[in-house]
C-alpha cells in the first residue's frame, strides 16, 4: 500500500537498512583491523654477550686564554654506567683520575702539572710556541701509562667580529655572527663555537652542553683574509642574552674528529648510522691532547 507518507517511509527504511548493512560490514572489517592495530607488542628480549669495556685513561686538554694549560684526566666507563641525564657532578666524581703523574715536555724542558681539583691538572704556565711539538706523559697508579704528541697551532684571532639578533619574521630569534680572519699561509683548520653563557645553564648542561660548532677549512682562502656570516641554529635567543664566541686554529686530526662528531649529530636512531670508533692521538688511551689557543669574545645580544 502506498501513500504519500509510505513512499517516504519506504525510502527512509531502505536507507536505514543500507546504513545498517554498511555499518555492520564496516564493523566486521573493523574488528580484525582494530585487533591488528592493537596487536600485542612482544616484550623485549634480554641481551647477552655484550663485551665489557676495559677502563682506559681519557685525556682532554685545553689552553685557556691566559696561556695556562688544563688537562682533564678521566677513565672510560660502561654504556650502562651513565647517560646524558645522569647527574654531571656525580658522574665526573666517579670517573676522574686523581692519582696520575702528568708531565708535559716541550722545547724548553718538562713541566709537571699539579692536581687542581677532581681530575683537573694544571697550575703551571708553559710557554707554548707555535709550530713546536709537545709531548704528554701520564702515569696513573690505577690505570697505567699513556702518552701523546701534538704541535701547537699558531693562534688566529678574529680580525672583525659582530654578534646580533636575527628575527626571521616567524617568531624565531637567532644569533647571527659576522666575522673576519686573516689566514696564515699553509693548511689551517678552524673551529668556531657559540655558547650562551648563563650560570645555571652551565651547571645543568655540564654533560653534552651542545655548543654550536662550525668547522671551516682554508682550502679556498689559503693565506688570505676570509669573512662570512652565519646564524646559530636552531637555538632561540632573546635580547640581553650573553654568548661566548670562540675561534680556534686546530690540528688536522682534531678537525677530522670534530667533523666525525658533527656528521653523526643526525643519528636519531642509533643503529641507523655506521658505527665509529672515534680517532684519538692518545697512545694506549682515549681522548685528545690539544694545544690550540682560542680567541674568545663575549657579546650581549641586543
Partner 1 sequence: MVVRAVVLLLISLFPGFLLAQAVVLNGIVLDRNGEALVSAHVFISPDSITIPSDSEGRFSAAIKPGQKLVRVSFVGLEDFERKINVNGDTTIQVLLIAKTSQLQEVVITAKKNLQEEVFNSNRTSTYVLSQDDITALPVLGGEADVIKVIQLLPGTVRGVEGSSDLFVRGGAADQNLVLLDEVPIYNTSHMLGFLSVFNPDILSKVEAINGGFPAEYGGRLSSILKVQTRDAIPDQTHMSGDVGIIASRLFIEQPLVKNKASVWLAGRRTYIDQVVKTIGEELPYFFYDLNGKLTFQPSENDRISLSYYSGEDVLNLFRDRNGDGNGFLTRYESGNNSQSLQWQHKLSMRWTSQLSIIRSQYQYNILNAFEENELLALSDIEDIGARWNVQRDSIGGKNGVFKSGMEWTQHRISPNVINTEGTISELLESSSTSRRIAQEFSLHGQYEWSLSNRFRMNTGIRMSMASVSNRTYVNPEPRIFVRYKLTDQQALKFSYSRMVQYLHRIANSAVTSPADIWYPVTETIAPQTSNQVALAWQRSDERHNLFLSLEGYYKSMNHLIGYEEGTNLFLNNDFESRLIQGKGTAYGLEFLLRKESGKLTGWISYTLSWSNRQFDEVNRGEWFPSRYDRRHNGAIVAQYALSKRLAVSAVWEFISGARFTPVIGQYAIFAPTLTGVDLVPIYSGINQVKLANTHRLDVGIKFRSRPDKKFQWHWFAGVYNGYNRANPIGITIEQDEDGTLRYEQPGLFGLLPFISYGFKF
Using CB under 8 A as the binding rule, the residues of this chain from 151 to 170 that contact partner 1 are 168-170
The neighbour count for residue 151, using CB atoms within 10 Å, is 13
Told to check if 76 binds partner 1 by CB under 8 A, we report yes
From residue 17 to residue 56, what is the string marking binding to partner 1 with x (rule CB under 8 A)? ---------x--xx-xx-xx--xxxxxxxxxxxxxxx--x
C-beta closer to partner 1: residue 1 or 272: 272
User: For residue 63, is the peptide bond before it cis, meaning its omega torsion is within 30 degrees of 0?
Assistant: no
Told to check if 107 binds partner 1 by CB under 8 A, we report no
Contacting residue, 105, 118, 193, 242, with partner 1 by CB under 8 A: 193
Name the nearest CA neighbour of 83 among 262, 209, 265, 207.
Answer: 207
Name the nearest CA neighbour of 74 among 201, 207, 194.
Answer: 207
CA distances from 104 to 76, 109, 139, 153 (A): 22, 8, 12, 16
Kindly state the smallest distance separating residue 3's Cβ from partner 1, in Å: 35
| Neighbouring C-alpha atoms within 13 Å toward the C-beta of 45 | 3
Contacting residue, 11, 223, 261, 298, with partner 1 by CB under 8 A: 261
Stretch that binds partner 1, among 126-134, 156-164, 178-186, 203-211 (CB under 8 A): 203-211
DSSP state of 131: T
Told to check if 67 binds partner 1 by CB under 8 A, we report no
Stretch that binds partner 1, among 109-117, 136-144, 154-162, 191-199 (CB under 8 A): 191-199
Could you tell me if residue 223 is left (phi over 0), alpha (psi between -120 and 50 degrees) or otherwise beta?
A: left
For every residue of 220-254, which 3-state class applies, written as one string?
HCCCCEEEEEEEECCCCCCCCCEEEEEEEEECHHH
Kindly state the smallest distance separating residue 9's Cβ from partner 1, in Å: 27
Stretch that binds partner 1, among 4-12, 59-67, 127-135, 182-190 (CB under 8 A): 59-67
From residue 79 to residue 98, what is the string marking binding to partner 1 with x (rule CB under 8 A)? xxxxxxxx-x--xx--x---
Chain residues 208-237 in contact with partner 1, contact rule CB under 8 A:
208-209, 211, 213, 230-231, 233-234
Angle of CA points 109, 111, 112, to nearest 5°: 150
CA distances from 94 to 76, 97, 118 (A): 11, 9, 9
Told to check if 264 binds partner 1 by CB under 8 A, we report yes
Told to check if 284 binds partner 1 by CB under 8 A, we report no
C-beta closer to partner 1: residue 6 or 203: 203
Amino acid at each position: 500500500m502506498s501513500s504519500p507518507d509510505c513512499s517516504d517511509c519506504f525510502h527512509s527504511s531502505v536507507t536505514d537498512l543500507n546504513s545498517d548493512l554498511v555499518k555492520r560490514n564496516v564493523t566486521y572489517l573493523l574488528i580484525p583491523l582494530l585487533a591488528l592495530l592493537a596487536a600485542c607488542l612482544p616484550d623485549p628480549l634480554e641481551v647477552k654477550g655484550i663485551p665489557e669495556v676495559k677502563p682506559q685513561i681519557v685525556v682532554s686538554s685545553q689552553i685557556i686564554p691566559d696561556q695556562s694549560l688544563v688537562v682533564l684526566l678521566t677513565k672510560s666507563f660502561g654504556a650502562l654506567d651513565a647517560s646524558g641525564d645522569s647527574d654531571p657532578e656525580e658522574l665526573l666524581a666517579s670517573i676522574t683520575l686523581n692519582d696520575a703523574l702528568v708531565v708535559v715536555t716541550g722545547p724548553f724542558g718538562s713541566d709537571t702539572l699539579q692536581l687542581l681539583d677532581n681530575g683537573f691538572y694544571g697550575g703551571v704556565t708553559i710557554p707554548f710556541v707555535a709550530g713546536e711539538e709537545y709531548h704528554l706523559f701520564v702515569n696513573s697508579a690505577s690505570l697505567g701509562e699513556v702518552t701523546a704528541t701534538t704541535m701547537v697551532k699558531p693562534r688566529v684571532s678574529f680580525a672583525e667580529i659582530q654578534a646580533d639578533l636575527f628575527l626571521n619574521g616567524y617568531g624565531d630569534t637567532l644569533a647571527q655572527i659576522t666575522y673576519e680572519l686573516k689566514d696564515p699561509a699553509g693548511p689551517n683548520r678552524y673551529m668556531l663555537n657559540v655558547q650562551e653563557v648563563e650560570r645555571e645553564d652551565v651547571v645543568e648542561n655540564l654533560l653534552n652542553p651542545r655548543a654550536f660548532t662550525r668547522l671551516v677549512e682554508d682550502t679556498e682562502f689559503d693565506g688570505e683574509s676570509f669573512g662570512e656570516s652565519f646564524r646559530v641554529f636552531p637555538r632561540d635567543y632573546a635580547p640581553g642574552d650573553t654568548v661566548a664566541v670562540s675561534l680556534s686554529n686546530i690540528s688536522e686530526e682534531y678537525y677530522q674528529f670534530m667533523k666525525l662528531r658533527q656528521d653523526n649529530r643526525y643519528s636519531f636512531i642509533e643503529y641507523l648510522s655506521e658505527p665509529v670508533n672515534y680517532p684519538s692521538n692518545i697512545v694506549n688511551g682515549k681522548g685528545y691532547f690539544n694545544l690550540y689557543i682560542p680567541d674568545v669574545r663575549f657579546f650581549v645580544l641586543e
